Amino acid sequence: MSHLLVAENIIKNYGDFRALNNVSIEVPKGSIFGLLGPNGAGKTTLIRIINQITMPDEGSVILDGENLKSHHIRDIGYLPEERGLYKSMKVGEQALYLAQLKGLSKAQAKERLKYWFDKFEISDWWNKKIQELSKGMAQKIQFIVTVLHQPKLLIFDEPFSGFDPINANLIKDEILQLREEGATVIFATHRMESVEELCDHIALIHESNKVLDGKLIDIKRQYKSNLFEIGLLSDDKSGVTQYLKERFEISEATFKTINNEMKFNVKIDKHQSANQLISHLTSKGELTHFVEVIPSVNDIFIQTVQNN
């Protein structure tokens, strides 16, 4: 698989503080890449290096096979976490200005802006000043400006903060649509539910070091602990508990059901299979609930950060 962006052994120091320590990431073409990490881990620094806002002290960034150069600015669309617009400028003027800074001609910019403004049904905002818009409305403009020049690489830093659920959904759909059209997306966040939904690759940065990266499915496989959540209807509760205890590692589980089942978390070891567990269970009562516990990104995140 070819990579759109490769960052190799990036080191960045701010005075005595090392913001990034030998961090490498590889972003596959056409993927949605989640860049995760607690606050202050170094996500924004890495993104700024990719955007050439700051230079790395060591290491290199390769975009689409070339060393990063200033003309690559046009290939990247960046929606920073700290974002805003000129308050006293009109929406249209401002969008045109920012589009031209990205290298679009005025006519091109106008045409594409018209498309997006129609799509978001905000054409009548053209002559309004930003200060007259709500925060969510301003965010829509920022989103449009970010994607307007059709960059190969889109970088969103906490894109959903400030959006209500409806608009967040709208933006999410647009991001997926852009990926369909061939864009690669880097998505920095610490909101894990959106990662779960969108990302197919992730990298986790913690205290300036990359502690985890890869395909999301692979990571989940790696983190799963052969744990099953079960619900069993039986009259002989203590007998069944004793029976299971002798064969497996079990603990009390809590989940909602409509019957009065016994609820367990059952861990099987390498030599055992799920099928064996099921046959043991069905021999003792009626099996009403059987789910393999797959770690959520949230669990992986917390577990990884705490272990480091």
Partner 1 sequence: MNHFALITKREFLNKVKNKSFIIMTFLSPLIMVAVFALVAYLTQLNNDNVRVISVLDESKLFESEFKSTVNTKYDVLTDINLDDAKKIVQEAENYGLLYIPKADNIDAIADKIMFYSEDSPSIIVMEKIENRIEEKARNIKLKNSGLDPELIKKLNVNISTNLETYGGEKTSKLGSGLKLAFGGAAGYLLFMFIIIYGNMIMRSVIEEKTSRIIEIIISSVKPIQLLLGKIVGTSLAGISQFIIWVLIGGLLMTVVSAIFGINVAESQMTQNQELINGVANNPEAQNELLLIIQEIQNLPLANLIIMFIFFFIGGYLLYSSLYAAIGAAVDNETDTQQFMLPIIMPLILAIYVGFFTVIENPHGTVSQVFSYIPFTSPVVMLMRIPFGVPIWQQLLSLALLIGTFYVTVLFAAKIYRVGILMYGKKPSYKDLYKWLKY
Is 83 a binding residue for partner 1 by CB under 8 A? The answer is: yes
Q: Which of 145, 178, 183, 205 binds partner 1 (CB under 8 A)?
A: 145
Applying CB under 8 A, the span of 98-106, 172-180, 227-235, 251-259 interacting with partner 1 comes to 98-106
Cβ neighbours of residue 111 closer than 8 Å, sequence gap 6 or more: none
Q: From the CB of residue 263, how many other CB atoms can be counted at a distance below 10 Å?
A: 18
Q: Which of 15, 235, 258, 270 binds partner 1 (CB under 8 A)?
A: 15
Which of 8, 81 has the CB closer to partner 1?
Answer: 81
Is 201 a binding residue for partner 1 by CB under 8 A? The answer is: no
Which of 72, 263 has the CB closer to partner 1?
Answer: 72
Is 102 a binding residue for partner 1 by CB under 8 A? The answer is: yes
Which of 84, 239 has the CB closer to partner 1?
Answer: 84
Rg (CA), the chain: 25
Residues touching partner 1, count (CB under 8 A): 28
**Cβ–Cβ under 8 Å, residues 134 and 163:** no
Kind of pairing between the strands at 153-157 and 184-189: parallel
What is the C-alpha separation between 136 and 277, in angstroms, rounded? 51
**Cβ–Cβ under 8 Å, residues 83 and 89:** no
Give the helix ranges, DSSP H, for 3-105. Answer: 43-50, 91-101
Q: From the CB of residue 119, how many other CB atoms can be counted at a distance below 10 Å?
A: 12
Is 80 a binding residue for partner 1 by CB under 8 A? The answer is: yes
**Environment class of 162 (CB within 10 Å of its CB; exposed 0-12, middle 13-18, buried 19+):** middle
Is 219 a binding residue for partner 1 by CB under 8 A? The answer is: no
Q: Which of 9, 14, 58, 294 binds partner 1 (CB under 8 A)?
A: 14
Is 226 a binding residue for partner 1 by CB under 8 A? The answer is: no
Applying CB under 8 A, the span of 22-30, 52-60, 179-187, 219-227 interacting with partner 1 comes to 52-60
For residue 146, the minimal CB distance to partner 1 (Å) is 8
Q: Which of 89, 170, 268, 293 binds partner 1 (CB under 8 A)?
A: 89
Site string for partner 1, 123-142 (x = CB under 8 A): -------------------x
Cβ neighbours of residue 147 closer than 8 Å, sequence gap 6 or more: 77, 116, 154, 174, 178, 183
Is 121 a binding residue for partner 1 by CB under 8 A? The answer is: no
Is 40 a binding residue for partner 1 by CB under 8 A? The answer is: no
Give the helix ranges, DSSP H, for the chain. Answer: 43-50, 91-101, 106-119, 135-147, 165-180, 192-198, 216-223, 237-247, 274-284, 297-307
Tokens found for residue 19: 């913001």
Which of 81, 229 has the CB closer to partner 1?
Answer: 81
Is 73 a binding residue for partner 1 by CB under 8 A? The answer is: yes
Is 98 a binding residue for partner 1 by CB under 8 A? The answer is: yes
Q: Which of 35, 85, 91, 244 binds partner 1 (CB under 8 A)?
A: 85
Tokens found for residue 236: 């002989």
Residues of this chain that interact with partner 1 (CB under 8 A) are 14-15, 48, 51-54, 70, 73, 76, 78-80, 82-89, 97-98, 100-102, 142, 145
